[in-house]
Chain A
Amino acid sequence: MADELDLLRSADPVPAHGPRFPDGPLNPHAEHRLERLLTGADERAAGREGEERKRWSGRPVVPSLLGPGRLRLAWGLLATALVAALTLGLLLSGPSAPPAVAAPRPLVIETGSAPVPLDRLAERAAALAGAHGAPRLRKGTHVRSWSLGMSDDAPPVTLPEERLVRWRPDGSRTELVVATDPRYPGRPVLSDADGVPRLVGDGHVLHDRTYPPSWSGAPPQSPPPRTPDRLRAYLTQAQYTGTPLTTPQLLDAVATLLDHWTLGARESAALARLLAGTEGLRPAGRVTDRLGRRGQAYVTDDAYGVRRMLIMDPATGAVLGLESTLTAPDPRYGVDKGAVMAYSAWMR
């Protein structure tokens, strides 16, 4: 009788001896691709773009599915034109100039959608916490973020990034940050890594570093607890404050936590319960986040004119994202009401 691996083997959708992709000599296309690699034709066509698509431990961040070199060259020319246009814009315009290139709009609550109370989400999260195969806590993060860069003498710009932090068993970690905007795959994006906003290729590596082993027993480096009370204490410590957290501060602390840890189901359940017991966090309804995920939004306004919207997975109670928007315009920086100050979308 077969064991489970034998059963799975018999269900191979593309068997080695099947009609699709059987072993054998390369076809002309594959030969051509090999030839291009060996002669360096691909690298030359990719030019600087290729250089920018650096890889991290064999883990490409942005796929090079753009096709032939011609297309890449076209993007390069486009990028050059956009850099010129942007530079000119930055030189000639003042604070009242139009908003940043591709500045994202705030998420919109779907009209007519019924808000889900946090209590119910916490119940769902608790039910999943002990489930077989539920996600587990993992140190490190994978986050897409958009942040508004403001200046006294230039229009605001939005800087989209993707950050991947992975820890190894020996306590070392690798951090990779690239400039990319999932809403515009393959298109140049703004970055101010050099101190001045400029357009860079999608996937341009901003930071790629491996750190030696390090340990810390203090939040947010230490593992988050699995009970709401202890988690609140942990988040308070993570914010380096001795006073009880206000609701906006609590959400900021949640962002700090998720920038260090990818929560498991148990930690998400504790967090959902903690949030359910937090005053001033209003259920607002359903949203679709910038990664296309459906979520439930919970909103709170602070005293400084910033609205924070936490987006949670309605099925699991996990936090998907946090958006901060202005509730009033700030003419000093040429920022309108509703401008997105910061947005983080966390992934597993």
Chain B
Amino acid sequence: MSNDEIFAAAYREHYWAVSRYVARRLDGRAGEVEEVVAEVFTVAWRRRADLPDTPLPWLYGVARNCLANAVRGHGRRRRLVDRLGNDDTAHGRHIAAGPEADTPGGWVHEALARLSPADQEVLRLAAWEELGVDEIAVALGCGSRAASMRLHRARRRLRAEIDRMRPVPALTEHPRVTVPKEHGHG
């Protein structure tokens, strides 16, 4: 297959996964999602000769940079950086907050939002994009060992935040919410 054909196949296969990646970080603002995804594939097209055999993590890497630059280049830096990092609505705090919530969404988002943007991103890639360590390394443009360490540390920090937000008495009062277990990291 030519580079163009390989690109077209990757586009068809991963268009919606890339759209979800962007939407998760733009709080579902449909108009902007489409624009950013278009930019992601435009960049990917120009670099189609570099497209790896497993293109999705690489596309996530391109998307990550497009998002960051969409923020910078359009004077929406503060607003969107907040969305990427700490904004309330971006992380579902408007949906549910506190240990009494029926679903863990709200407070898990809040725990996530307390971490650094780098920690947040590696965790999102692992949990929401369901990438393995090697794939995370591709998406972040780092080595596998570094990705593994970053994920390890980010998990530990997320765990600490969750523990902080989920005091034991609250858990016993609200047994529907899953309790994080003690476990090793890898």
Chain A residues at the B interface, C-beta cutoff of 8 Å? 1-14, 16, 20-24, 26, 29-30, 33-34, 37-38, 42, 55, 57-65, 67, 132-133, 135, 169, 180, 182-183, 185-186, 202-203, 291-293
Q: Judge whether B1 is part of the interface by a CB distance below 8 angstroms.
A: no
A285 to B: closest C-beta gap in Å: 21
A185 to B7, CA, bound (A): 30
Residues from chain B with a CB closer than 8 A to the CB of A33 are 38, 41
Residues from chain B with a CB closer than 8 A to the CB of A133 are 115-116, 119, 157
With A5-B155, A63-B66, A133-B116 in contact, do A34 and B38 touch (Cβ < 8 Å)?
no
5 shortest A-B CB distances, which residue pairs? Answer: A8-B127, A11-B105, A11-B108, A2-B178, A1-B181
With A4-B162, A21-B16, A65-B74 in contact, do A34 and B11 touch (Cβ < 8 Å)?
yes
Residues from chain B with a CB closer than 8 A to the CB of A292 are 77-78
Interface SS majority for chain B: helix
Residues from chain B with a CB closer than 8 A to the CB of A169 are 143
Q: Which residue of A lies closest to B18 (CB)?
A: A21
Q: Judge whether B92 is part of the interface by a CB distance below 8 angstroms.
A: yes
Contact A60 B12 (CB under 8 A): no
Contact A12 B178 (CB under 8 A): no
Q: Judge whether B99 is part of the interface by a CB distance below 8 angstroms.
A: no
Contact A61 B69 (CB under 8 A): yes
Residues from chain B with a CB closer than 8 A to the CB of A26 are 11-12, 15
With A8-B108, A12-B128, A135-B116 in contact, do A186 and B162 touch (Cβ < 8 Å)?
no
Q: Which residue of B lies closest to A169 (CB)?
A: B143
Cross-chain contact of B158 among A8, A63, A182, A293 (Cβ < 8 A):
A8
Q: What are the interface flags for B24-56 relative to A under an 8 Å C-beta threshold, 1 for contact and 0 otherwise?
A: 100110000111101101110111001000000
Residues from chain B with a CB closer than 8 A to the CB of A183 are 75
Cross-chain contact of A30 among B15, B23, B35, B72 (Cβ < 8 A):
B15
With A4-B162, A8-B158, A42-B42 in contact, do A60 and B66 touch (Cβ < 8 Å)?
yes
Contact A60 B180 (CB under 8 A): no
Cross-chain contact of A65 among B35, B45, B178 (Cβ < 8 A):
B35
Residues from chain A with a CB closer than 8 A to the CB of B159 are 3-4
B162 to A: closest C-beta gap in Å: 6
Q: Judge whether B123 is part of the interface by a CB distance below 8 angstroms.
A: yes
Contact B109 A182 (CB under 8 A): no
A179 to B: closest C-beta gap in Å: 13
A42 to B44, CA, bound (A): 13
Q: Which residue of A lies closest to B13 (CB)?
A: A23
Residues from chain B with a CB closer than 8 A to the CB of A55 are 43, 46-47
Residues from chain B with a CB closer than 8 A to the CB of A1 are 178-181
Contact A34 B42 (CB under 8 A): no
